[in-house]
Amino acid sequence: MGLVLSFSSCDKEDDNTSTNTTTATTGTCTTTGTEEQSSNTEIEAMRQAMISFRSSLSSTLLSQASTCLENERFYLWHNTPNGNGTSRDGIIYGDLSSNQLTNFKSLVQLFLSTDGYQKVSDISELAEGYLNTLNANAWNPDYYSIDMFGDPESSGSWGFQLDGHHLAINFLVHGDKVSIVPAFFGGEPAVGSFDGSNYDVFEQERELALDLYNGLNTTENTAAVSSGSSTVEAGPSSNNGAVDPYRGNFDYSGFATGLKYSDMSTTTQANLILVMKEYVYTMTNTFADEWWLDIMDNIDDTYFVWIDDVASPNSTSPFYYRIYNPYLWVEFNAEDALGGGGPDYNHVHTITRIPNNPSTNDGGDYGVFALMINNNGPKTLFEHYAQADHHKLKMYPFDYTVKIEANSHSHSHNSHSHSHDG
């Protein structure tokens, strides 16, 4: 199915509110691969919430925030501070009235579980609020940006992006399917207190993983532990404004290393399942359940890797772990302490993705739309590391096999660590 969207612009208004229901943006979208609108009641509630939010915006704000599903803006998310609220596309929280912001947050809640939305609040309001007291120009709860893609009024394929410091979620409705990946969650301080509220953003992701790792037997530990690079391998791009290099048909197959699910004890398997569910069920249950079915259909091909504190890690240890399944990619990493000024363990980055599955051609992250702009980008891990100059700064060993498709055999290479500010 193809979709042609002609967008009109209304006259500019003096404030940020509007009673117009006309879709407004610049240009015309000719989007292929879209779906009909879903009859699912939850998806219809999401659609109506998005239409309501859009109709509340002035024509100026709506135009600034709206673009096509195949537009490259979908892939420009990042985790760095949004300096003065001007370093990202779309509109920011600070552009909205209190009612508009409440409506947008209600829309986000329809896509996320209670725990998932709590993470969003802890990151964007509490952790960011604390950092705002240290440097109001760099960190501000008003600086989170909103981009909207496609037209929910005329198509069953549409989405939006919430993008800001330590938080980037890509929401997509595509017919009867709903996804929230890539989803980047971070925090510094990840455990803290602000405005009378205590928070621990990644308590479950940390504690469940510690239970998993500390419960490994000797054989399992040997397979899981790696001396490779403890950096987020498929996280944000190297700098703000750069396209996500892992979108579309990126080859994740080289990450089939570490401790394999089918080689785990029953107890270890159960512990791994708990960790995986913590990431999947950030999403609202109905669609997390559907995602989980795909994951479980491929559960024997799941791999777990642990790096850094391997002796006796605890809640205040800096460590990294990775989970690879054909339908789930997870990374958790304790970053170097930066803006928050605390210990390394209290600066955390996580990423959740769906690796592209060529056999189903569903596109993985961003659905089928990511495939549209990936013609010239790197397809394999080797290509990405070979082409990215920023990887030449520092050298660490890969802890996975790099596959070069043209030669149909594997090589060992050096990995290059890169850090992401914030």
Question: Higher pLDDT residue, 251 or 225?
Answer: 225
CA distances from 178 to 90, 104, 112, 227 (A): 22, 17, 11, 37
Q: What is the pLDDT of residue 385?
A: 53
Look-up of token digits 């509220």: 197
pTM of the model: 0.86
Q: 181-224 pLDDT, tens per residue?
A: 999 999 999 999 999 999 999 999 999 999 999 999 999 999 99
Q: What is the DSSP letter of 336?
A: P
**pLDDT digit string, tens, across residues 41-92:** 999 999 999 999 999 999 999 999 999 998 999 999 998 888 878 889 999 9
Q: Which two tokens stand for residue 245?
A: 């290099």
Domain boundaries, the chain: 2-121+132-193, 198-378
103 sits in which H/E element: helix 98-111
Task: For residue 268, give the H/E element and its range.
Answer: helix 266-280
Between 9 and 371, the higher pLDDT residue: 371
Backbone angles phi, psi at 93, to 5 degrees: -50, -40
Which pLDDT score, from 0 to 100, does residue 230 have? 77
State residue 15's pLDDT score: 53
Residues 354 and 185: their CA atoms lie apart, in Å, by 15
Query: How far apart are alpha carbons 143 and 124 in whole angstroms?
Result: 9
Alpha helices in 281-364 (DSSP H): 285-297
Residues in the chain: 422
Distance separating alpha carbons of residues 144 and 78, to the nearest angstrom: 11
H or E element, residue 404: strand 402-404
Q: What whole-number distance in Å separates Cα of residue 160 and Cα of residue 57?
A: 15
Q: Which residue has the tokens 């929910």?
A: 152
Residue 336's CB: how many other CB atoms inside 10 A? 10
pLDDT for residue 21 is more than 90: no
d(CA 237, CA 410): 25
Rounded distance between C-alpha atoms, residue 147 and residue 266, angstroms? 44
Mean pLDDT, residues 8-31 taken together: 47
- Measured between alpha carbons, how far is 349 from 337 in angstroms, rounded to an integer? 11
pLDDT at 8: 35
**Partners of 307 in beta bridges:** 320
Q: How far is CA 315 from CA 175, 207, 231, 274, in A?
A: 41, 7, 19, 17
